[in-house]
Amino acid sequence: MGPNCTRNCSFCAVEQYPLGPPDPEEPARVAEATREMNLKYVVITSVTRDDLPDGGAGYFAETVRQVKNKIPDALVEILIPDFLGDERALNIVMESSPDVLNHNIETVSRLYPSVRPEADYRRSLAVLRQAKKINTSVFTKSGLMLGLGELPGEVEETLKDLVEAGCNMLTLGQYLQPSKKHIEVDRFVSPKEFDDWRKTALEIGFSEVASGPFVRSSYHAKELYKKVKY
Ligand code: SF4
């Protein structure tokens, strides 16, 4: 859906604007690329396109369908925006039967105004909750960056909120500043603390957790999925 975004998260290197029309051939080209690379687990994501009537849900759905059409045994994980909380948009992507629906909460509620100014903590939780309600067999997943100034109690609260929203899998990674104009790193979290957070998250109720300084949303996504599934 293009290289640029309608939002301006302070941690993200993606540029805000200008926006062009999405390329209608993109789903077919993504599917062809996955076939050429013989991928068996595909993570599909996009910029946020609040300017589109369905937030780009139709493009996600079409891409999932075309990938599954080209490689019937491929597992597909989609990392979606919040679609401004539009349940119709969420229904559109869920109807394409992704294997995993990922939506990152990114940080704790208090830091939203400085980290995700156009997003809404409760709305992101609602996306995960609603996805599970639409199809309980689809695994849901979310992630947070640590090192943005969050307090331990706030992280714990966020993990509880995610589990309460039915979220199955979690990724926790270190925030790194993409450039000097982005929000500064508050602190570097030690590998031991990441291990401790993994244990805490499992105790809170996640089925599987990837936690470490270099973990990102798609980190070992296939392995995480398999641990939850089997
Ligand atoms: S919505 Fe996503 S792509 Fe857009 S600025 Fe925020 S993190 Fe980056």
pLDDT digits (tens, 9 = 90+) for 7-58: 999 999 999 999 999 999 999 999 999 999 999 999 999 999 999 999 999 9
- Which backbone phi and psi does 122 adopt, to 5 degrees? -65, -35
Q: Give 44 Cα–ligand 1 centroid separation in angstroms.
A: 14
We report the CATH number of the domain holding residue 34 as 3.20.20.70
Answer whether residue 19 is part of any domain.
no
Residue carrying the six token digits 């975004």: 5
Q: What is the secondary structure of 183-198 as a DSSP string?
A: PPP--PPPHHHHHHHH
- Into how many domains does the chain fold? 1
Answer whether residue 18 is part of any domain.
no
| d(C-alpha 170, C-alpha 150), whole Å | 17
Answer whether residue 6 is part of any domain.
no
Answer whether residue 92 is part of any domain.
yes
The model carries a pTM of 0.97
Instruction: Give the pLDDT of residue 188.
Output: 98
Residue 161 is classified by DSSP as H
Please, are residues 88 and 54 in contact by the beta-carbon 8 Å criterion? yes
Answer whether residue 184 is part of any domain.
yes
Helices 57-70 and 87-95 meet at what angle, rounded to 10? 10
Answer whether residue 13 is part of any domain.
no
119 lines ligand 1 (CB under 6 A): no
48 lines ligand 1 (CB under 6 A): yes
Tell the residue nearest (CA) to atom 8 of ligand 1: 12
Instruction: Give the pLDDT of residue 32.
Output: 98
44 lines ligand 1 (CB under 6 A): no
The mean pLDDT value for 82-106 works out to 98
Q: Ligand 1 pocket test: which of 17, 48, 83 has the largest number of ligand atoms within 8 Å of its C-beta? A: 48
Answer whether residue 21 is part of any domain.
no
| d(C-alpha 108, C-alpha 195), whole Å | 19
Instruction: Give the pLDDT of residue 71.
Output: 96
State which residues form the domain around 181: 26-229
Phi and psi based region of residue 220 (left: phi greater than 0; alpha: psi -120 to 50; beta: remaining):
left
pLDDT digits (tens, 9 = 90+) for 71-92: 999 999 999 999 999 999 999 9
ω into residue 113 within 30 of 0, thus cis? no
pLDDT confidence bin for 184, thresholds 50/70/90: very high
5 lines ligand 1 (CB under 6 A): yes
